[in-house]
Amino acid sequence: DVKVTQSSRYLVKRTGEKVFLECVQDMDHENMFWYRQDPGLGLRLIYFSYDVKMKEKGDIPEGYSVSREKKERFSLILESASTNQTSMYLCASSELRGQALETQYFGPGTRLLVL
């Protein structure tokens, strides 16, 4: 069974703090993704990575950065947290299967509250 774990289920931070969200997958997947999920907006892609040390911007990268030093680990960094970054953050991973359908497996999510 594929397992994607996220370091925290709930997190409360103050405005201006640097926040690290960690994600680990145990299936040797090449691709990893960070999304945020907000009511009425669905899942929006922040960043993704298709290989170690490689990253690409998604639809809403502003205010975020990522790090992928090891294949199994993908970190999302909020350089200076703001209240509009209060959200549910979901990590996902998938195999690299070229043009074919690749199933994304999601972690349980981190609910972040920025005060």
Partner 1 sequence: QKEVEQDPGPLSVPEGAIVSLNCTYSNSAFQYFMWYRQYSRKGPELLMYTYSSGNKEDGRFTAQVDKSSKYISLFIRDSQPSDSATYLCAMREYGNKLVFGAGTILRVKS
Adjacent-strand bridge partners of 46: none
Tokens of 32: 């990893």
CB of 69 to partner 1, least distance (A): 23
Task: Write out the residues near partner 1 by the rule CB under 8 A.
Answer: 4, 9, 39-45, 48, 58, 90, 92, 98-99, 101, 103-109
Strand 56-57 relative to strand 4-6: parallel, antiparallel, unpaired? unpaired
DSSP code per residue over 72-99 = TEEEEEESS--GGG-EEEEEEEE---TT
Minimum CB distance to partner 1 smaller for 48 or for 78: 48
CB of 54 to partner 1, least distance (A): 15
CB of 48 to partner 1, least distance (A): 7
